[in-house]
A and B are shown apart, each in its own frame.
Chain A
Amino acid sequence: MAPPRFAEWLIARIIRHDAWADITTGDLREEHAVLADRRGRLAAHAWYCLQTLALVGDRLGEAARKITSATGSFFSVGDRPMLTFRREIVRAVRAHARQPLVAAAIVLTLALGLGVNAAAFQLVNAFILHPLPGLNVDGLAMIAERPPGQMYSQESVAPANYYAWRHDAKSFDKLAVFDWWEVNLAGGSEPERVLGFQVTADFFEMFGLVPAAGRFVAEADEAPGAAHVLVLSDRIWKRRFGARPDVIGQALRVDGESYTVIGVAPEGFAFPNSAEVWAPYPHTAEHAANHTDRSLTGFGRLAPGVTLAQARQETQALYARMRATYSHDNDGLQADVQTLAEGMRDTGSPQVVAMIQVAALLVLLIGGTNIANLLIARGWDRQRETAVRLAIGANRSHVLRQFAVESLVLGLPAVPLALGMAWISLHAMRAAMPARIERFLPGWSQVAVDWRLVIVTLVAALVAALLFSLNRLGILVDR
């Protein structure tokens, strides 16, 4: 029966330059086979993995000694703290190499706790902290008409009320709306159903965007009777049209009607909700008189020097006037203004994500408790050594530093493992989310391991290492 393949490969890699490489590998195989006959496959595999860990530990200890001797002359003059720190790293590596199973258990437990929290934090980042990644949303605010107490702000503006605000509001220098527009698109490739939005003229400029090709929707395109025009997303431009520049001016069939492509949005822009095409929201007489059909989502850019509170005040005042004029259409509702990020946030997701984060923190807490117990158990084994050191004059800060270094030597290797676990779980989550739901979750596309997550995980590992060392000092010294 062969030993675990990965462990055997790892051993072969570590000792490949050793004169005894063949003997070592052969001995391990033979002992593995004997153990498998005597105690079964699982015990033999476990033993083999332990031997692998021991070998890795020995090599790390050797490497630490080589670094010590190579840098000894560099650090030996007048840099005692660095020399001491280096010695303690070497000591810590050797100490852990003597008990590889305990060290491995600690690293894996910490990695699991950190990995779960890394994945949860990324959900918090995507759904709560940065729900509209990659977009410049500073100074953008959402306007809404809704009953008092209702939090949902999207699809709440009537067309006529929007036009009134656009005409009268001074606290916004641009105001736009968008309306869902799921259509059948033909031309360029096989017909397909795509998610689109009808938007007003200032929609793209609100984000400071420049078209990748052609132009965006202009006010003239909103006029009744204007030619049907279409802006493509970068994604659909590449997918259906092979990123051809001559797509500008091409006629497509949209729900049976002819639309001319006038522009392509920049790469990565798919606002809102993974949009693939945009068309003008027509300023028809019917829309201009419609104070009841609240299906539009309205947002705008605050005028220079205007605060959100001031914009809210003016919006509410204008709405009160509309209510006075069209009371049977707007009665019982009130206007509100909030940041675009808040308005686009899915109403239920933050609570769910917060619960996931709390659960992840509990997992880390339980894991941390287990690790603390393991360290304490090891600490009791070294109680005599530490007591002697304190008795002969070592101070608490030195002992604490030793424990901190030992904890760091375990904590730092847990970071890449944790990030690997986070990557796997986030990847699985993204793969499992149906596309028809994903479009309603702004920020979902950013659920992945990024530099912020690496830093947060590293900091969490350092904090955990410090807490473990403080805990051990408290147990060992208080007798």
Chain B
Amino acid sequence: MRTPAPYLGEFEQLVLLAILQCGDEAYTVPIRHVLADRSRRRVARGALYTSLERLEVKGLVSSRLGESLAVRGGRPRRYFAVTSSGLDALRAARAVLANLSSGLESLLERQ
């Protein structure tokens, strides 16, 4: 029997989508900018880091450290990538949303 995809909170979904949007340059700075720009809400730095850590513990993202950079005061960037489990979880969450929205298209369509 297939293991059900782990439950994703709303913010976790957004973080995973932002990582996917950033592609190969998915480190904390552009992830936060994409999140803030596209969700049009203030993203607390601490909330993002906590969420990334939780997603990594759940196995939904993986991370690696880049090279130390002078612009960061000699500190490295931390790059993230969505794992296959993460993609499964996103698909499941999207399916739930589609399922619940079914039949409500006319109501939910933008006026």
Q: Which residues of A contact B (CB under 8 A)?
A: 2, 19-20, 22-27, 29-31, 33, 51, 54-55, 58
**Does residue B37 face the partner (Cβ distance < 8 Å to A)?**
no
User: Contact at A29–B49, with CB atoms within 8 Å?
Assistant: no
User: Contact at B29–A31, with CB atoms within 8 Å?
Assistant: yes
**Does residue B103 face the partner (Cβ distance < 8 Å to A)?**
no
Closest to B68 in A: A26
Q: 1/0 per position for B62-85, CB-CB distance to A under 8 A?
A: 000000010111011110000000
User: Contact at B73–A23, with CB atoms within 8 Å?
Assistant: no
User: Contact at B77–A24, with CB atoms within 8 Å?
Assistant: no
Bound complex: CA A27 to CA B32 (Å):
10
Chain A's nearest CB lies how many Å from the CB of B3? 28
User: Contact at B29–A30, with CB atoms within 8 Å?
Assistant: yes
Contact flag A24-B45 (CB < 8 Å), given A19-B53, A30-B29, A31-B29 = yes
Q: Count chain B residues whose beta carbon lies closer than 8 angstroms to a beta carbon of A.
A: 16
User: Contact at B53–A27, with CB atoms within 8 Å?
Assistant: no
Specify which of A22, A31, A54 is in contact with B75 (CB 8 Å cutoff): A22
Contact flag A26-B73 (CB < 8 Å), given A19-B53, A31-B29 = yes
Specify which of A2, A20, A31, A51 is in contact with B49 (CB 8 Å cutoff): A20
User: Contact at A30–B71, with CB atoms within 8 Å?
Assistant: yes
13 contacts between A and B (CB under 8 A): A19-B53, A25-B73, A26-B73, A27-B45, A27-B72, A29-B72, A29-B75, A30-B71, A30-B72, A30-B77, A33-B71, A54-B44, A55-B46
Chain A residues within 8 Å of B49, by CB: 20, 23-24
Contact flag A29-B73 (CB < 8 Å), given A23-B28, A23-B78, A58-B46 = yes
Interchain residue pairs A-B with the least CB separation, the first 10: A26-B75, A26-B72, A20-B49, A29-B73, A22-B75, A33-B71, A30-B72, A29-B72, A27-B29, A27-B28
| Secondary structure of the B contact surface, majority rule | helix
Chain B residues within 8 Å of A20, by CB: 49, 53
Q: Which residues of B contact A (CB under 8 A)?
A: 28-29, 32, 44-46, 49, 53, 69, 71-73, 75-78
Bound complex: CA A30 to CA B72 (Å):
5
| Secondary structure of the A contact surface, majority rule | helix
Contact flag A58-B44 (CB < 8 Å), given A19-B53, A23-B28, A27-B29 = yes
Residue of B28, B44, B72, B76 contacting most chain A CB atoms (<10 Å): B72
Bound complex: CA A33 to CA B44 (Å):
20
Chain B residues within 8 Å of A33, by CB: 71
Bound complex: CA A301 to CA B69 (Å):
79
Chain B residues within 8 Å of A24, by CB: 45, 49
Chain B's nearest CB lies how many Å from the CB of A24? 7
Chain A residues within 8 Å of B28, by CB: 23, 27
Bound complex: CA A33 to CA B72 (Å):
9
Chain A's nearest CB lies how many Å from the CB of B19? 15
Bound complex: CA A229 to CA B29 (Å):
81
Chain A's nearest CB lies how many Å from the CB of B37? 14
Chain B's nearest CB lies how many Å from the CB of A387? 24
Closest to A33 in B: B71
Bound complex: CA A58 to CA B72 (Å):
23
Chain A residues within 8 Å of B44, by CB: 54, 58
Chain B residues within 8 Å of A26, by CB: 69, 72-73, 75-77
Closest to A62 in B: B46
Chain B's nearest CB lies how many Å from the CB of A360? 39
User: Contact at B75–A23, with CB atoms within 8 Å?
Assistant: yes
Specify which of B32, B46, B71, B78 is in contact with A29 (CB 8 Å cutoff): B71
Closest to A32 in B: B71
Closest to B42 in A: A98
Chain A residues within 8 Å of B73, by CB: 2, 25-26, 29
Chain A's nearest CB lies how many Å from the CB of B65? 9
Chain B residues within 8 Å of A54, by CB: 44
Chain B's nearest CB lies how many Å from the CB of A18? 8
Chain B's nearest CB lies how many Å from the CB of A332? 80
Contact flag A25-B75 (CB < 8 Å), given A58-B44, A58-B46 = yes
Bound complex: CA A478 to CA B32 (Å):
42
Closest to A2 in B: B73
Bound complex: CA A51 to CA B43 (Å):
12
Give 13 A-B pairs besides A26-B77, A27-B45 with Cβ atoms closer than 8 angstroms.
A2-B73, A23-B78, A24-B45, A25-B73, A25-B75, A26-B69, A26-B72, A26-B76, A27-B28, A27-B32, A27-B72, A30-B29, A55-B46
Chain B residues within 8 Å of A30, by CB: 29, 69, 71-72, 77
